[in-house]
Amino acid sequence: MPTAQHHEQPLWSVILTGDDHHTISPALHTQWLNNKKPTPYCTFVGTRSMLQHTWDRADQLSHPNSKITVVGKSHLHEACTQLGGRVPGIIITEPRHQGMVVSLFLALTYLQVKAPQSMVVAYPADHFVYPEDLFLQTVQRTIWATEDCADHIFILEAAGTNYQPSGCSVTLDQQLGWVHGTPIYGVQPPHYDLLDEEEHPLAQVHYLSNTSVLIAKSDVFWNLGWQYHPHMMEIFDELQDAIGTSYERTVLDKTFHSLKFWDTSLLALLQLTPNLAIVELEHIRWSHWGDPRHILEDVTGIGKKPTFPVEYEKIYKEESFTNNPSPTGGLTTSQKGV
Indicate if the pLDDT at residue 325 is higher than 60: no
Tens of pLDDT, residues 112-123? 999 998 999 999
Q: pLDDT at position 62, please? A: 97
CA 338 and chain centroid, separation: 26
What is the mean pLDDT of the segment spanning 83-99?
94
Q: Where are the beta strands (DSSP E) in 51-201?
A: 67-72, 90-94, 119-124, 127-130, 153-159, 169-179, 182-187
Reported as a pLDDT band with limits 50, 70 and 90, residue 321 is very low
Helix axes 248-258, 230-242, angle to 10 degrees: 170
Q: Are 306 and 44 in contact (CB under 8 A)?
A: yes
Alpha-carbon dihedral angle through residues 312, 313, 319, 322, given to the nearest 10 degrees:
-170
Reported as a pLDDT band with limits 50, 70 and 90, residue 300 is confident
Query: Comparing 292 with 147, which gets the higher pLDDT?
Result: 147
In the CATH scheme, what is the code of domain 11-149+212-268+287-323? Answer: 3.90.550.10
The SS3 assignment for 200 reads: coil
Query: Comparing 248 with 148, which gets the higher pLDDT?
Result: 248
Tens of pLDDT, residues 20-40? 655 555 555 555 555 678 889
For the chain, what are the domain ranges? 11-149+212-268+287-323
Dihedral angle sign, alpha carbons of residues 221, 223, 229, 233: positive
Write down the mean pLDDT value for the chain.
79
When mean pLDDT is compared across 20-29, 51-60, 126-135, 263-272, the lowest value belongs to 20-29
pTM for this one?
0.82
